[in-house]
Amino acid sequence: MRRELTLLERIAEYGKGPGAATAEEDVEALMESVRRQLVKLLNARQGMSEAQPDYGLPAMSDLIVGRGEHVRKMQEAIQATIEKYEPRLRGVRVAAIVGETSRQTVAFRVEGVLIGRSGEHRVWYETSISGNGQFDVSA
């Protein structure tokens, strides 16, 4: 069974037939698994999970404190959340992407080191939040 997938992803694939067991790590599959997890993590709001009340980001209204300040607060919240809940990424840095998006979208670049069986891999993801509050993440 491929270890690049999360436990829930492996359980979901269990009934789909025999997987190709391999000793080699599929780094692209690992990156995609992390990307899917980031989408779930960044679209969750703190307080939504009784088991982990601080899972996800704070409510967006809690992050909007003043003109220009909200982007920095969002950046800090994204970084802290990823560092806490995505152990496959280390050395996470989040930077705002300025001038490449529309006025109604805020975008960030998430950089870090992906930890896999085959070693460490420098990766980055771009994430944007639209006017409706939903995050999209691309690799």
Q: Which domains does the chain have, with CATH numbers?
A: 7-138 (3.10.450.40)
Contact 96, 128 (CB under 8 A): no
pTM: 0.75
Q: Find all residues with CB under 8 Å of 76, minimum gap 6, and list them.
A: 94
| Ramachandran sector of residue 65 (left: φ over 0; alpha: ψ -120 to 50; beta: rest) | alpha
Sheet holding 119-129: strands in order across? 89-97, 106-116, 119-129, 135-138
In this predicted structure, the answer to whether residue 60 has a pLDDT above a threshold of 80 is no
What's the CA gap between 135 and 100, in Å, rounded?
A: 16
pLDDT, residue 35, reads 96
Which stretch, 20-29, 43-52, 84-93, has highest mean pLDDT? 84-93
What's the CA gap between 95 and 107, in Å, rounded?
A: 9
Report, as an integer, the average pLDDT of 89-95.
96
Q: 96: which strand partners? A: 108
Report, as an integer, the average pLDDT of 48-68.
75
106-116 and 89-97 as β-strands: parallel, antiparallel, unpaired? antiparallel
Between these two residues, 100 and 12, which has the higher pLDDT value?
12
pLDDT, residue 103, reads 58
